[in-house]
Amino acid sequence: MAKTVVALPLPSQHLGTARTITVHRYGNPAGRPKAYIQAGLHADEIPGMLTAHHLIARLDEADRQGAIKGAIVVVPVANPIGLDQYVAGRLYGRSSLEHGQNFNRGFADLVNSIVPRLEERLGSDAAGNVAAIRSALLDGLADLHPSNDLHELRRTLLTMAIDADFVLDLHCDLESLMHMYTSDELWPEAADLASQLGCRVVMLAGDSGGDPFDEACSMAWWKLRNHFGDRFPIPNACLSATIELRGKSDVEDGSAASDADNLFRFLQRRGLVAGHPGPVPPLRCAATPLSGVDRLITPVPGILAYRRQIGDLVQAGEVIADIVDPTAEDPRTARTPLTTRTSGILWSRNQTKMAVAGESVAAIAGAEPLSGRKWSLLVD
């Protein structure tokens, strides 16, 4: 079936304004397997949008050759609301300025609402249960009544993705290595994705808190399995991941084209596109718990002077950076050291080198969970 491009209208709260979401669809919409790939949910994270551009070119060629075997949906710019948030010449695309909410939080958890629908529809056939659950999830989304454009954006994106076999949400960090978030329920099943992308860090969590997009697509499967127990066979029918394409400044055709090639090979390997993806590259890291990440928080404001680079292996107790107060009367007392509580790889640092007190300015992936973590493992 030929490719289609649709501009989905996004209802606006404001008179005289209109927004659309551009959607590229390949293959039979009812075909399997189905993959959903989006970029720019955090609208100021540009690397994923450029990668999506290159991926669309590859999929267009595959479509012309009749090589699309499943259903593929690509949304290269998932958040037109965030793209409109320019203030004093700067794009603020991570959170809604109007509603004060992170664009990648608060996606609907539909499990409790669909359990009554499923009581009479599930049985002993796992494949039949997958179809019934996907139908119930879509019905649950249709029953939602968004109260504003942010809620409508969330419902629109979920409606395109909730029934997919694979959901890949493309993001980036500040100054960072290639890394990936997924669920411990989906590991090591997702290891070939991390290997193909060359991830230097993979972080796992059953429930990271905050209801991000990727978890809203996949978590229903094991939540329902836990609810129904042994009564019905319910597999993990959606492999979802948040892929962090390095840092915000890593916007180059070369790296974006390479990332698109790797995503294309993943789609080939998983049966969505014909062709030979080649061997799976070696995995570059062991997966570690998201609860093991040590985020260094500044106790005082000042200039960030890093002692270690991203990609460095550091040891617990090591000084990673100093906070320098240039107004100190005595330069010998101007530095406040920041030490890490865990050993692991330093995978993220701030771009901005003037820090405020209470800011997270570096992240180290440790192999063991850290004590004293708050319920949500994500940073808003």
Instruction: Say if CB 295 and CB 360 are below 8 A apart.
Output: yes
Query: How far apart, in whole angstroms, are the C-alpha atoms of residue 307 and residue 224?
Result: 47
Determine which helix (DSSP H) or strand (DSSP E) holds 216, and give its type and residue range: helix 213-228
Mean pLDDT for the stretch of residues 154-180 = 99
Q: pTM for the whole thing?
A: 0.97
Confidence of residue 10 (pLDDT cuts 50, 70, 90): very high
Return the DSSP state at 281: P
| Distance (Å) of CA 194 to CA 24, 181, 275, 339 | 24, 10, 20, 29
**Count of helix runs (H) and strand runs (E) in the chain:** 8, 20
pLDDT at position 374: 62
> What whole-number distance in Å separates Cα of residue 34 and Cα of residue 16?
36
Greatest Cα pair distance in the chain = 75
The domains of the chain, with CATH numbers, are 4-285 (3.40.630.10), 290-366 (2.40.50.100)
The pLDDT tens digits of the residues spanning 57-74 come to: 999 999 999 999 999 999
Ramachandran quadrant class, 217 (left: phi over 0; alpha: psi -120 to 50; beta: rest)? alpha
296 has which bridge partners?
362
Which residue has better confidence, 151 or 12? Answer: 151
Taking residues 201-218, report their average pLDDT: 96
Between CA 72 and CA 164 the distance in angstroms is 9
Q: 3-state class of 232 per DSSP?
A: coil
Token look-up 């973590």 returns 373
**pLDDT tier for residue 1 given thresholds of 50, 70 and 90:** confident
Dump pLDDT digits (tens) for 217-268.
999 999 999 999 999 999 999 999 999 999 999 999 999 999 999 999 999 9
Q: Once rounded to an integer, what is the mean pLDDT over residues 157-177? A: 99
Give pLDDT tens digits for 267-318: 999 999 999 999 999 999 999 999 999 999 999 999 999 999 999 999 999 9
312-340 average pLDDT score: 98
The 10s digit of each residue's pLDDT in 31-57 is 999 999 999 999 999 999 999 999 999
Inform me whether the pLDDT recorded for 372 exceeds 60: yes
pLDDT at residue number 373:
65
**Rounded distance, CA 340 to CA 353, Å?**
18
Note the Cα 21 to chain centre separation in Å. 18
Which tokens belong to 266?
A: 């993943």
Query: What residues contact residue 279 under an 8 Å CB cut-off, 6+ apart?
Result: none
CB-hemisphere CA count at 13 Å for 284?
A: 17
Confidence of residue 2 (pLDDT cuts 50, 70, 90): confident
Predicted confidence (pLDDT) per residue in 111-155, tens digit: 999 999 999 999 999 999 999 999 999 999 999 999 999 999 999
